[in-house]
């Protein structure tokens, strides 16, 4: 099984390195600047679960190595999805599958239209990682979980080899029988977290220390729950209990990566995450005033950011 990881940032670099160390035939498709860094310094991961450093097999984005990859893992940001799809199209063969690890749900329709639903798996990455200015990847805590599965009645033949490879790695993983449900459940939590963090420009504990912070977070979670349920994917009571506990932890320093994007003045996935939920809410006739506020805040941020470039 040949695996291609598009991107060697935090998520793609981390899981790709773990697959490589488990004995996988793994290549990385990256932009030229990232390729130069990796050639000079290697792919470096620091983690409480064990550090690793490897000399990765690289393909520069825009090059055409020809078809031959069996599993293509997409770890790009949502705003790069179109260019990422163009980049991986030449490396796919008739039996290849695409495993996207993007946030939200909107990317599935785009990938299905391009490659066919039967070739697009579902995936959820639960991990907190950061790409340092020197190109090294820092795993910020011990938690790391990868969930993936087929979205079509006929399971992909590449699921079993991928499962076997992950079993030889330190990655906590699961092959899901209902991957879209798993994706929706993460969507509910992530959207709540990102909306709260980015609107308040603070982590969970700091938001909860304000006069209306708890009501704001609770209200966002309720709106996201409503949309998921009306879309046929209600979050389980067990998951909601966990989410409420995490979002009510006054000592929490947790913040979504979208906040780090805002703090560095970069683009965000606001359209793909919050904008998609606002649109789904409108289509379902569900009022989502807090999500609209959070999304408007990020739209204004983007307008100001672009004006400054």
Domain with CATH 3.40.50.720 in the chain: 2-177
Q: Among 3.40.50.720, 3.30.70.360, 3.40.190.10, 1.10.3300.10, name the CATH number for the domain at 2-177.
A: 3.40.50.720
Nearest CA to 102 out of 6, 33, 35, 217 is that of 6
The per-residue pLDDT for 190 is: 97
Average pLDDT over residues 105-129: 96
186 labelled catalytic: yes
Q: What is the pLDDT of residues 156-172, one digit of tens each?
A: 899 999 999 999 999 99
Mean pLDDT, the chain, integer:
95
Q: How far apart are CA 95 and CA 292, in angstroms?
A: 41
Lowest mean pLDDT among 28-42, 54-68, 181-195, 277-291: 54-68
* Distance, CA of 266 to CA of 97 (rounded, Å): 31
**Considering only CA atoms, which of 169, 147, 57 is closest in space to residue 99?**
147
* pLDDT (0 to 100) of residue 61: 73
One of 77, 142, 154, 186 is an active-site residue; which one? 186
What per-residue confidence (pLDDT) applies to 154?
A: 85
Fold of 182-307: 1.10.1040
In the chain, where does the domain assigned CATH 1.10.1040.10 lie?
182-307
Q: What is the pLDDT of residues 182-220, one digit of tens each?
A: 999 999 999 999 999 999 999 999 999 999 999 999 999
Residue 308 has pLDDT above 90, yes or no: no
**Residue whose C-alpha is closest to residue 258's, from 231, 230, 285, 294:** 294
- Residue 182: the pLDDT is 97
Per-residue pLDDT band for 251 (boundaries 50, 70, 90) equals very high
pTM of the predicted structure, to 2 decimals: 0.93
**Residue range 253-280: average pLDDT?**
96
Which of 126, 72, 151 has its CA nearest to residue 246?
126
């Amino acid at each position: 099984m040949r695996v291609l990881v598009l991107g060697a940032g935090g998520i793609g670099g981390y899981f790709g390195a773990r697959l490589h160390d488990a004995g996988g035939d793994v290549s990385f498709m990256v932009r030229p600047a990232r390729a130069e860094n990796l050639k000079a310094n290697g792919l470096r991961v620091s983690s409480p679960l064990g550090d690793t450093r490897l000399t990765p097999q690289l393909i520069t984005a825009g090059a055409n190595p020809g078809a031959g990859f069996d599993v293509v893992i997409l770890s790009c940001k949502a705003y790069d999805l179109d260019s990422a799809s163009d980049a991986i199209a030449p490396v796919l063969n008739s039996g290849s599958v695409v495993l996207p690890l993007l946030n939200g749900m909107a990317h599935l329709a785009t990938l299905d239209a391009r490659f066919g639903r039967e070739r697009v798996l579902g995936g959820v990455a639960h991990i907190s990682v950061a790409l340092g200015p020197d190109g090294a990847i820092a795993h910020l805590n011990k938690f790391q979980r990868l969930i993936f599965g087929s979205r079509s009645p006929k399971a992909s033949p590449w699921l079993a080899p991928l499962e076997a490879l992950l079993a030889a790695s330190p990655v906590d993983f699961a092959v899901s029988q209902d991957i879209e449900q798993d994706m929706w459940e993460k969507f509910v939590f992530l959207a709540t977290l990102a909306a709260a963090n980015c609107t308040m420009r603070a982590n969970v504990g700091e938001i909860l220390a304000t006069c209306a912070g708890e009501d704001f977070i609770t209200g966002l979670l309720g709106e996201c729950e409503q949309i998921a349920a009306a879309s046929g994917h209600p979050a389980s009571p067990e998951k909601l209990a966990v989410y409420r506990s995490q979002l009510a932890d006054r000592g929490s320093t947790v913040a979504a990566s979208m906040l780090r994007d805002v703090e560095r003045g970069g683009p965000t996935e606001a359209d793909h995450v919050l904008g998609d939920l606002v649109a789904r809410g409108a289509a379902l006739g569900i009022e989502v005033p807090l999500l609209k506020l959070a999304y408007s805040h990020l739209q204004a941020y983007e307008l100001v950011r672009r004006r400054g470039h």
